């Protein structure tokens, strides 16, 4: 399986699925991770939960998302 943003191989725990398009992308899940993030973490005010959003979807809807913390 590959990241839909950078086309790099997805492996280990540093993978997330986009809250909007449902495609998989790289996202560092620990401070020690060396993976380059291909998305961001946002607060979804509707569900009061964290949402993982790929960079492509953030670029399409920049005003919809405010970075969490």
Q: Using one digit for the tens of pLDDT, what is the confidence trace for 8-65?
A: 999 889 999 999 999 999 999 999 999 999 999 988 778 889 999 999 999 987 666 6
Instruction: Please give the radius of gyration of the chain, using alpha carbons only, rounded to the nearest integer.
Output: 12
Q: Measuring CA to CA, which residue among 9, 7, 35, 4 is closest to residue 21?
A: 4
2 — pLDDT class (breaks 50, 70, 90): very high
pLDDT for position 66: 56
Contact 42, 53 (CB under 8 A): yes
CA–CA distance, 60 with 10 (Å, rounded to integer): 23
Contact 13, 29 (CB under 8 A): yes
Q: Identify which has the larger pLDDT, 67 or 22.
A: 22
pLDDT for position 48: 87
CA–CA distance, 25 with 19 (Å, rounded to integer): 11
pLDDT for position 18: 96
């Amino acid at each position: 399986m590959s990241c839909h943003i950078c086309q790099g191989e997805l492996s280990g725990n540093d993978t997330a699925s986009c809250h909007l398009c449902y495609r998989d992308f790289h996202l560092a899940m620990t401070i020690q991770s060396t993976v380059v993030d291909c998305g961001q973490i946002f607060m979804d005010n509707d569900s009061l939960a964290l949402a993982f959003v790929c960079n492509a979807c953030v670029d399409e809807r920049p005003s919809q998302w405010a970075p969490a913390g």
